[in-house]
Structure 1
Amino acid sequence: MDRQDFTRIARERAVPWRRVAYLICGDWGRAEDLVQAALLRMYKHWHRIEPRGLEAYARKVISRLALDEAKRASRRKEVLGEVPDRPAAQFDEEVDGAPEVRAALKAMPPRQRAVIVLRFYADLDVAATAKALGITQGTVKSQCSRGLDSLRAALGPHHAALATRTPERTGGSR
């Protein structure tokens, strides 16, 4: 089989493979991503794939990719015994306390404010925040800790539920 065969087969089989991926993962968007990743792997190893084993190989690659993704996702999940640090709603005027939170954020040093906003409003993890700001992960953690302390002090007991614990102190990376 040559590269033209790959193109033809990929066009013919992409939709059925996406259905298989959907049944495995339960999400059409993720299913499409899984098929694209599987096609990429198949393309890399096309010269070694036996034509009669193509369907089985495709299903195997799709399944393994889906399972690997699920394992990674389950490792990122964490069980919280109390309210998380980030709000459930956007910082709109309707959210109780939003003006006070915005005022407290404005009072923070710029890097501290950027860390808090990226971590808890944009929902980035420590590594992504560090990369976005061009600083180390340790700096993100220390700035986050100081920023949350600053928010607690500025907002007082009225907003005691805000950041009752920081992710860094619990051992997580979020």
Structure 2
Amino acid sequence: MEASFEEFVRSRGPALLRYAHLLCGDAGRAEDLVQDALVKVHRRWSASADLTTPFAYTRRAVTNEYLSWRRRLANHELPSMVPDRAVAPAGDRVADRDLVWSVIRDLPRRQRVVVVLRYYEDLGDREIAGVLGVAEGTVRSLASRAFAALREHPELTEVQPRPRRVTQEQP
């Protein structure tokens, strides 16, 4: 591996930060996740031959930090000045997106990781299983439970799909 750790962080840091933000839903916590993961990766950077895919390795480190029981016990901070959801007119796409993210934020951590890796990182079941260190069947099970929870969530069932514009064909 030719790239230095600093070059890696400079080039791939924003993608790691985006991934962490999608996992935890908070920019400050995302920065902490990435920083803690990068500290652990840095310790192994020069001595490790298994860093042939440093981004995948570091993404897994970020995931492990997010799922860590220590972090869950230590992280009970809730911002008091920031509203839970953005206030926007009904039917606004931003409001719908914020609603969906607030519901996704309530999913159990491993289910949320699966949703983020599948739809925002565009990974398949095999790659997600590698990140989580589980079998592919476990990934499918976690995804199934996450989607069931999203389908059954009362706030999402109230959201009506927007009618599609129908264009009339001209003869």
User: Which band: TM-score by shorter chain?
Assistant: 0.3 to 0.5
TM-score, normalisation: structure 2: 0.39
More helix by share: 1
- TM-score, L = length of structure 1: 0.38
